């Protein structure tokens, strides 16, 4: 990591483990300043707490200081809770005093949506970068070190039970979500945090910086997050890759589901998907589990934190009720999870208990026997089956049953999960289970999402550790020449012929073609290429040639070619009299191929995204596309192909020849490298159609469109 | 309703409102018999309770009788909790004594999966039908009349709080689900039932009978159900239609999500969808809301029971947190719900309170102001906006805020819903809200599913009240003749020519064709029809002609036709030397059309299902189909068309001509009538492809396949 990242690491450490804290803007009232002070004073036996407010000499029983400079030491952390127009002054004082880090609770920055607010936030950003005083916030609620019970934060602590410490690190852009539903419901469910971090407007330290810190923290096994927006995905992707290396899953809520899928864009690729689908693709690519709800975030994070990786994907379900076990198995099956049949031995053991009532099967319905003294025999027999990696107990029960389940989990090398069928507020077994590390779900559908996420995470990580994340090779001399040319171009849109020239430098094979300036030249070109041929106008001003009527396919002789030349030129003029026309392309006609679209679109937040779709009308009607962030590996290229609903069209459907998916995968990888090499120049790229020939015959780009970044005017 | 249905109605009424109950198999132990007695004794001040067990003279402080016959009166209800081999004996005694109804708790019937168990259940069915003693169960847990606090059931009442009475009638095939999660969680959430009914194996009274009863019950406004399987859909559909008439929504969990989608079948239609997709289609067609989880069932039922139908679809969201209001709005938007912009007046009123901090917008973030004394002004201003029909308060809060919200809801003609952000077990406002009729959700995604269901239900019902459910007209003489012919046929599969003859009787237009027996005849036919033509073998033994290679398209002259005749005959012999060949069809070649598949498949449980799919390869690759139960209305036919992802291909995509969707809709209606008229004969029907010509030119069936029920051998 860079030294800037290191200074972030050190600053976050001081925020979470301060030995001394200045509370600037502390008051005796229980508003933000007073609450921050009250929260810190709970740990005054371990942390030196200095209220700062010129109006008081003492607050909450400790000495109050008029300014930061007046403190007896340079604190590890300053909590800043002053009106927004005084924040910079306080931070400058922190710098002079050598304070190690600052949490700015104050609001009134970019979130106001005013020019003044944005300017003030920009000043804060620049100050943090230049001064080295790293800042959390502004407009946040602070952080909590749950395991050491240190709470430098401004939310109310009232009416809340003790927060259990645990293995989940929570990073949340919304303070009221962190110190609201995610805090209270975790406490209610017995789910423990290592730290709770609210990041606010992220003028300096951002989401990924905190995640990066937690990846190094030995007490954090899973990172749970809540994201409203990302400035850029680069750091996010970097920490997600690192998380995979160290084996700490990231589980996220991210806002953005309601954006409309499609956008206005010059290329088909750009128009086909919205930013939310792209974020989903990044989550899948980098092993991040995306969820939608508070409870789902907590339950799945807890499952990931408290589960082992087992070699068996099989799940056994046992319940006291046929209806409960059926619904549970149904939801698991709907998510593609496997419920292996019982072994003969286990079937016999269960039948010995239930004597033909209920079902000795998977799922099992053991009727009331599951609630009684046979429980340990039953669950032990179920979990010990060789094909079972996880036992689900779908029931309620007594304290005695809870103790037996907890004991089995501690002894077993496999996973044990409760699907609690009673009320959430129930007594009996539930408080014991919550206090244990047995993961608990409350609905069959929630359980199924959780177990699916657990298996998917380990599958993904195993693949990733084997294949790596992919990286672009060094740029070649020829590619570098093309890149320089593009950087110097005055206009944004390249003609088909020019676009193909760019692609060729990255090894993409083009249909053979000749650019011609007259009907005679066109006929000569056709004779050279061999009939049938395609004729189309080559113009950077006509992006969608089929719609403009300037393409003619399947021309079989010289007369047809000469006619077509005149026709497409006339149509081009009719379409747009001002269009600059570079000539008329005569191309070989590719048949016996499956058409796909391959494209790149540079998302302002997420970076260069690669798209593959089944070609023709289908890609738009059925939105049948798969997406990855560039670069990709060969493995990912094949996964992109297989993720298409129409993949079987490529694999030889209904007796048709299988297409050359290996060549398609290689082209996807090459285009992803092009996107990385040209990240500064390329806005959008379409290869539409890319013709996928029968196996071993390769792929051919029949049309291409390159659009450069707008900044060049 | 039939008299049988009436007797069911009366029997269910006696089960739920018994004045006297015999508990046959009562014991002093707290197993099923003892629990049933204990539950009934709780209402002994209102219900005469008679334990029946020859071993005791007194149980639980009341006189115990040796037999049913010994009772001093013929009880309204007998609870039967005896070993399964004694059940018939007890029921016969009930009949002799004139007992009004019976709930058989005993297990040991069809659920055992043994021949003996199935026989015993069949005996019970026949007995109920013939004796008039209507039976609930066997293998159930009984029922509860929550509003009058009468519990004829065998589940444990221990460790449960008082069950609130309310407007939801619960009908559940799984007793342990009814008197388990659905009982305890409703109590926990303050959601009230009118009745709880567990139906068990349904040897006599079935799910739909109980729903039918609840439709007449003035205290029940919504029916919540849990279904593991349906014997037939006929009664279910009948009560769903009646529920629409009386305006009582049905909300269901149904097991079956994990079944694999496709099945083995002779027709494409039969193979394309599984039973679960068909059940989903029936739910959509008859206004039933299908959900997946216990909590979802309860929360959505409560929302439907406690909401008004408002003319405005607009939703306003207000929170104390930007993060909470953003996530809530995002989830609502992702479900297609509308959040209208604030009026100028409301914006000004909110800004007057928050002074530029937070957002005066929809969704609104009113920061801490929402928790304080400005709350009534804020929520009143939000809900009174003309475009708003529902206000969502996404927050936690004090008792004072809860009282104000409850008061606003009682005064307003609009809906008010809480999205509670605190813990589920919290004190403060939550207990008050639970005790009120304000619907509560605990997650933004759950709220969005709920509000989407509410709007969808009212939209659906408005349409249905306007357009009706559709019914088949009386069968014509010609159709009746065809029906008789089919009933007499010895074989199951009809050839293309025969299949088209059936369709023609229901007014489906066919491609013009001539069946020929020689190459000369084929050429004559082609001259008559006009070139180009199609030539295919007509055989009931070759179901998929394209795959068998016995179809030749686009034949342009007599030589091609003669060659094709010889070719397809040779290929038919090569495909299956034993195939019976009726001749060779020469057909007009239809071009300029969009191909769809229209079909019927008779589902053993759900009845005749109509399928529409985009034709060719697409329907299978993209599973782009829509389904309805026959018959359908013209409105539903258009809805089926619009439900296809590929609908825009029919509506004139990318400058192509719009297809004749009106003619397609009319054909769908006709085929649905055919399916009703031939319900006893028809197993499967494919029209594949049905060619949809440009607008006003109609549709033409280019191929057809009729498969009759297997019973005919």
Please answer whether residues A225 and A177 qualify as being in contact, where contact means their C-beta atoms are separated by less than 8 angstroms.
no
H or E segment to which residue A444 belongs: helix A444-467
Inform me whether the C-beta atom of residue B426 falls under 8 Å from chain A C-beta atoms: yes
Please answer whether residues A75 and A49 qualify as being in contact, where contact means their C-beta atoms are separated by less than 8 angstroms.
no
Nearest one of A383, A241, A221, A263 to A315, comparing CA atoms: A383
Please answer whether residues B300 and B450 qualify as being in contact, where contact means their C-beta atoms are separated by less than 8 angstroms.
yes
Q: How many residues comprise chain A? A: 713
CATH architecture of the region A308-467: 3-Layer(aba) Sandwich (3.40)
pLDDT band per the 50, 70, 90 thresholds, residue A4: low
Of B184, B226, B423, the CB nearest to A323: B226
Q: Is B166 left (phi over 0), alpha (psi -120 to 50) or beta?
A: beta
Q: Which of residues 623 through 642 in chain A touch B, CB cutoff 8 A?
A: 624
Identify all chain B residues contacting A646, using CB atoms and an 8 Å cutoff: 621-622
Q: Quick check: do A512-589 and A594-712 share a fold? A: no
Task: For an interface test with A, give the residue of B271, B423, B546, B646 to mutate (most A CBs within 10 A).
Answer: B423
Dump pLDDT digits (tens) for B503-539. Answer: 999 999 999 999 999 999 999 999 999 999 999 999 8
Of A321, A425, A649, the CB nearest to B425: A425
Nearest one of B222, B46, B26, B37 to B150, comparing CA atoms: B46
Of A255, A445, A624, the CB nearest to B327: A255
CA separation for the pair B150, B145 (Å, rounded): 5
DSSP secondary structure code for residue A442 in this structure: S
pLDDT at residue A615, as a whole number: 81
**Cα end-to-end distance, chain A, whole Å:** 36
Cα A569 from chain centroid (whole Å): 47
Helices (H), A65-151: 87-97, 115-131
**Domain A512-589: assigned CATH number:** 3.30.1490.20
Q: What is the fold of A594-712? A: D-amino Acid Aminotransferase; Chain A, domain 1 (3.30.470)
> What's the mean per-residue pLDDT of chain B?
92
Tokens for A319? 């319940």
Inform me whether the C-beta atom of residue A351 falls under 8 Å from chain B C-beta atoms: no
CATH architecture of the region A3-302: 3-Layer(aba) Sandwich (3.40)
CA separation for the pair B534, B550 (Å, rounded): 11
Cβ distance A108 to B357 less than 8 Å, yes or no, reads yes
Residue with tokens 């093309």: A482
Say whether B143 sits in a helix, a strand or coil. strand
Mean pLDDT, to the nearest integer, of B62-82? 97
CA distance B141 to chain A (A): 11
CA distance B256 to chain A (A): 6
Cβ distance B396 to A180 less than 8 Å, yes or no, reads yes
Dump pLDDT digits (tens) for A516-531. Answer: 999 999 999 999 999 9
Identify all chain B residues contacting A327, using CB atoms and an 8 Å cutoff: 177, 226, 253, 255
Backbone angles phi, psi at A434, to 5 degrees: -60, -40
Q: Which of residues 260 through 319 in chain B touch A, CB cutoff 8 A?
A: 292-296
pLDDT at residue B713, as a whole number: 39
Mean pLDDT, to the nearest integer, of B585-592? 91
CA distance A569 to chain B (A): 21
CA angle A628, A171, A233 (to 5 degrees): 25
Please answer whether residues A445 and A639 qualify as being in contact, where contact means their C-beta atoms are separated by less than 8 angstroms.
no
CA separation for the pair B72, B64 (Å, rounded): 11
**pTM: predicted TM-score of the whole model, two decimal places:** 0.94
Dump pLDDT digits (tens) for A442-495. Answer: 999 999 999 999 999 999 999 999 999 889 999 999 999 999 999 988 888 999
Dump pLDDT digits (tens) for B656-712. Answer: 779 999 999 999 999 999 999 999 999 999 999 999 999 999 999 999 999 998 754
Q: Which of residues 375 through 404 in chain A touch B, CB cutoff 8 A?
A: 396
Q: How many residues comprise chain B? A: 713
Mean pLDDT, to the nearest integer, of B576-593? 90
Inform me whether the C-beta atom of residue B337 falls under 8 Å from chain A C-beta atoms: no
CA separation for the pair B169, B214 (Å, rounded): 7
Say whether B389 sits in a helix, a strand or coil. strand
Please answer whether residues A99 and A131 qualify as being in contact, where contact means their C-beta atoms are separated by less than 8 angstroms.
no
Please answer whether residues B295 and A442 qualify as being in contact, where contact means their C-beta atoms are separated by less than 8 angstroms.
yes
pLDDT band per the 50, 70, 90 thresholds, residue B425: confident
For residue A1, is pLDDT > 50? no
Please answer whether residues A383 and A404 qualify as being in contact, where contact means their C-beta atoms are separated by less than 8 angstroms.
no
Cβ distance B443 to A329 less than 8 Å, yes or no, reads no
Strand order in the sheet with B415-420: B364-365, B314-319, B388-395, B415-420, B440-441
Inform me whether the C-beta atom of residue B173 falls under 8 Å from chain A C-beta atoms: yes
Cβ distance B258 to A334 less than 8 Å, yes or no, reads yes
Residue with tokens 């085929």: B671
Cβ distance A258 to B330 less than 8 Å, yes or no, reads yes
Identify all chain B residues contacting A648, using CB atoms and an 8 Å cutoff: 621
Tokens for B411? 């005064």
B145 forms bridges with which residues in the sheet?
B150, B195
Q: Which of residues 437 through 466 in chain B touch A, CB cutoff 8 A?
A: 442-446
pLDDT band per the 50, 70, 90 thresholds, residue A265: low
Nearest one of A203, A231, A55, A185 to A139, comparing CA atoms: A203
Among B102-106, B365-369, B648-652, top mean pLDDT goes to: B102-106
Cβ distance A422 to B181 less than 8 Å, yes or no, reads yes
> What's the mean per-residue pLDDT of chain A?
92
pLDDT at residue A158, as a whole number: 53
Identify all chain A residues contacting B653, using CB atoms and an 8 Å cutoff: 617, 621
Identify all chain A residues contacting B427, using CB atoms and an 8 Å cutoff: 159
CA separation for the pair A268, A249 (Å, rounded): 34
Strand (E) positions, B386-477?
Answer: 388-395, 415-420, 440-441
Mean pLDDT, to the nearest integer, of B609-635? 90
Identify all chain B residues contacting A428, using CB atoms and an 8 Å cutoff: 159
Inform me whether the C-beta atom of residue A329 falls under 8 Å from chain B C-beta atoms: yes
pLDDT at residue B2, as a whole number: 44
DSSP per-residue codes, A382-431: HHTSTTEEEEEEEE---HHHHHHHHHHHHH-SSEEEEEE-S-TT--THHH
Contacts of B129 (CB under 8 A, 6+ apart): B4, B204
**Which CA distances in Å does B674 have to B351, B481, B612, B666, B669?**
63, 13, 15, 12, 9
CA separation for the pair A295, A191 (Å, rounded): 11
DSSP per-residue codes, B69-135: TTSSS--SEEEE-S-GGGHHHHHHHHHHHT--EEEE----SGGG-SHHHHHHHHHHHHHHHHH--EE
pLDDT band per the 50, 70, 90 thresholds, residue A264: low
Percentage, residues of chain A above pLDDT 70: 97
Identify all chain B residues contacting A622, using CB atoms and an 8 Å cutoff: 618, 622, 624, 645-646
Nearest one of B110, B140, B114, B113 to B125, comparing CA atoms: B110
Of A112, A188, A334, the CB nearest to B257: A334
Please answer whether residues A418 and A441 qualify as being in contact, where contact means their C-beta atoms are separated by less than 8 angstroms.
yes
pLDDT band per the 50, 70, 90 thresholds, residue B349: very high
Dump pLDDT digits (tens) for A177-197. Answer: 999 999 999 999 999 999 999
Q: Which of residues 118 through 157 in chain A touch B, CB cutoff 8 A?
A: none
Backbone angles phi, psi at B311, to 5 degrees: -70, -20
Please answer whether residues B52 and B24 qualify as being in contact, where contact means their C-beta atoms are separated by less than 8 angstroms.
yes
Nearest one of A420, A438, A410 to A319, comparing CA atoms: A420
Other CB atoms closer than 10 Å to residue B247's CB: what's the count? 13
Say whether A274 sits in a helix, a strand or coil. coil
Percentage, residues of chain B above pLDDT 70: 97
* Domain layout of chain A by residue ranges: 3-302, 308-467, 512-589, 594-712
Inform me whether the C-beta atom of residue A112 falls under 8 Å from chain B C-beta atoms: yes
Cβ distance B327 to A428 less than 8 Å, yes or no, reads no
CA separation for the pair A305, A417 (Å, rounded): 12
């Amino acid at each position: 990591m860079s030294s800037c990242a290191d200074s972030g690491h050190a600053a976050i450490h001081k925020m979470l483990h301060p030995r001394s804290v200045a509370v600037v803007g502390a008051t005796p009232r229980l508003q933000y300043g007073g609450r921050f002070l009250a929260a810190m004073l709970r740990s005054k036996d371990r942390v030196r707490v200095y209220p700062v407010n010129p109006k008081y000499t003492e607050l909450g029983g400790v000495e109050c200081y008029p300014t930061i400079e007046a403190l007896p030491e340079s604190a590890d952390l300053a909590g800043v809770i002053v009106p927004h127009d005084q924040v910079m002054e306080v931070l400058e004082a922190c710098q002079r005093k050598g304070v190690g880090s600052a949490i700015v609770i104050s609001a009134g920055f970019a979130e106001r949506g005013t020019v003044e607010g944005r300017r003030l936030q920009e000043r804060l950003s620049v100050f943090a970068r230049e001064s080295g005083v790293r800042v959390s916030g502004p407009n946040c609620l602070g952080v909590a070190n749950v395991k050491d019970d240190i709470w430098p934060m401004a939310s109310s602590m009232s009416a809340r039970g003790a927060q259990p410490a645990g293995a989940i690190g929570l990073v949340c852009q919304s303070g009221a979500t962190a110190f609201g539903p995610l805090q209270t419901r975790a406490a209610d469910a017995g789910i423990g945090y290592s730290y709770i971090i609210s990041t606010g407007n992220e003028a300096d330290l951002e989401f990924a910086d905190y995640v990066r810190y937690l990846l190094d923290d030995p007490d954090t096994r899973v990172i749970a997050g809540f994201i409203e927006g990302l400035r850029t995905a680069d750091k996010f992707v970097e920490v997600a890759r690192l998380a995979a290396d160290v084996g700490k899953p990231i589980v996220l809520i991210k806002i953005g589901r309601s954006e409309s899928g499609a956008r206005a864009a010059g290329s088909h690729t750009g128009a086909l998907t919205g930013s939310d689908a792209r974020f989903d693709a990044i989550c899948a690519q980098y092993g991040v589990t995306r969820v939608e709800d508070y409870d789902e975030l907590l339950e799945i994070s807890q499952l990931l934190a408290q589960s082992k990786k087992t070699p068996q994907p099989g799940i056994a379900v046992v319940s006291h009720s046929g209806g409960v076990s059926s619904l549970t198995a149904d939801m698991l099956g709907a998510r593609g999870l496997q419920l292996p049949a019982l072994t003969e031995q286990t079937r016999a053991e269960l039948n010995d208990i239930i004597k033909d009532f209920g079902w000795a099967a998977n799922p099992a319905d053991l009727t009331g026997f599951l609630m009684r003294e046979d429980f340990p025999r039953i669950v032990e027999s179920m979990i010990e089956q060789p094909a079972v990696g996880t036992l689900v107990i779908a029931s309620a029960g007594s304290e005695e049953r809870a103790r037996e389940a907890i004991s089995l989990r501690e002894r077993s090398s496999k996973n044990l999960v409760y699907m609690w069928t009673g009320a959430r507020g129930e007594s009996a077994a539930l408080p014991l289970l919550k206090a244990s590390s047995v993961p608990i779900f409350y609905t069959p559908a929630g359980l199924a999402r959780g177990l699916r996420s657990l298996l998917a995470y380990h599958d993904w990580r195993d693949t990733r550790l084997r294949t790596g994340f992919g990286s672009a090779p060094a740029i070649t001399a020829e590619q570098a020449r093309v890149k320089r040319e593009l950087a110097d171009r005055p206009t944004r849109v390249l003609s088909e012929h020019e676009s193909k020239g760019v692609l060729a430098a990255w090894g993409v094979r083009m249909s053979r073609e000749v650019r011609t300036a007259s009907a005679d030249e066109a006929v000569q070109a056709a004779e050279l290429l061999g009939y049938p041929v395609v004729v189309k106008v080559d113009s950077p001003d006509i992006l969608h040639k089929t719609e403009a009527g300037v393409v003619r396919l399947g021309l079989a002789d010289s007369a047809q070619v000469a006619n077509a030349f005149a026709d497409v030129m006339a149509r081009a003029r009719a379409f747009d009299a001002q269009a600059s026309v570079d000539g008329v392309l005569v191309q070989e006609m590719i048949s016996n191929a499956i058409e796909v679209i391959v494209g790149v679109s540079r998302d302002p937040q997420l970076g260069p995204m690669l798209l593959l779709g089944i070609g023709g009308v289908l890609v738009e009607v059925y939105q049948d596309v798969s997406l990855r962030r560039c670069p990709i590996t060969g493995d990912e290229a094949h996964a992109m192909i297989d993720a298409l609903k129409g993949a079987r069209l490529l694999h030889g459907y209904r007796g048709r020849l299988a297409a050359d998916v290996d060549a398609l995968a290689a082209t996807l990888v090459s285009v992803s490298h092009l996107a990385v090499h040209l990240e500064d120049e390329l806005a959008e790229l379409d290869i539409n159609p890319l013709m996928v020939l029968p196996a071993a015959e390769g792929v051919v780009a029949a049309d291409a469109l390159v659009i450069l970044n707008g900044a060049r005017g």
